[in-house]
Structure 1
Amino acid sequence: MLVLQQANAEFTAKDCRDLGFIKSQLFCSSCDTLGEYGLDELKDHCQECCQKDVESTGKLMVYPKAVLEVCTCKFGAYPQIQAFIKSDRPQKFPNLTIKYVRGLDPIVKLMDEAGNVKETLSITKWNTDTVQEFFETRLTKITDDDNYLLTNRV
Structure 2
Amino acid sequence: MELHFLVLAVLGAVALCGRADKTCEELGFTGLALCSDCDAFAEIVKDQELELDCRKCCAEENEESLSKLTFSGARLEVCMRKLMFYPHVQTFIESKLEKFPAVQAQYRFNASPKLILLDEDGNEKETVRIDNWKMEHIEQFLEQKVKPKHTEI
TM-score by length of 2: 0.70
Corresponding residue for 2:29?
Answer: 23
Q: How big is each residue's C-alpha offset from its partner over 1:104-145, in whole Å with a ceiling of 9 and x where there is no partner? A: 121110111122211111111011111111100110133xxx
Question: Residue 121 and residue 83 in structure 1: after superposition, are their counterparts in 2 closer, same or farther (change >3 A)?
Answer: same
Query: Structure 1 CA distance, aligned partners of 2:37 and 2:66?
Result: 16
5+ residue gaps in structure 2? none
CA contact (8 A) 1:27 1:53 kept: yes
CA contact (8 A) 1:107 1:124 kept: yes
Corresponding residue for 1:139?
Answer: 146
Question: Residue 71 and residue 98 in structure 1: after superposition, are their counterparts in 2 closer, same or farther (change >3 A)?
Answer: same
Corresponding residue for 2:82?
Answer: 74
Corresponding residue for 1:125?
Answer: 132
Query: Structure 2 CA distance, aligned partners of 1:67 and 1:53?
Result: 24
Query: Structure 1 CA distance, aligned partners of 2:103 and 2:54?
Result: 30
Q: CA RMSD in A?
A: 3.6
Corresponding residue for 2:64?
Answer: 57
Identical pairs, percent: 28
5+ residue gaps in structure 1? 150-154
Question: Residue 85 and residue 45 in structure 1: after superposition, are their counterparts in 2 closer, same or farther (change >3 A)?
Answer: closer
TM-score by length of 1: 0.69
Query: Structure 1 CA distance, aligned partners of 2:112 and 2:101?
Result: 23
CA contact (8 A) 1:34 1:40 kept: no
